[in-house]
Amino acid sequence: MAKKKAPKMNAAPARLKPVRLDLKPEDYERLERQAEKRGLNKASYARMIVLERLSADERLES
pLDDT digits (tens, 9 = 90+) for 20-53: 999 999 999 999 999 999 999 999 999 999 999 9
The percent helix, strand, coil of the chain (3-state, each to 5) is 55, 0, 45
Query: Rounded to 5 degrees, what are φ and ψ at 43?
Result: -65, -40
Strands (DSSP E) contained in 1-62 are none
Residue 57 in domain: yes
Does 10 score more than 90 pLDDT?
Answer: no
Q: How many domains does the chain have?
A: 1
3 vs 20, higher pLDDT: 20
Around Cβ 45, how many Cβ atoms within 10 Å? 19
Could you write out the DSSP letters of every residue in 28-41? HHHHHHHHHHTT--
Q: Is residue 14 part of a domain?
A: no
Instruction: Judge whether 33 lies within some domain.
Output: yes
Query: What is the C-alpha separation between 48 and 51, in angstroms, rounded?
Result: 5
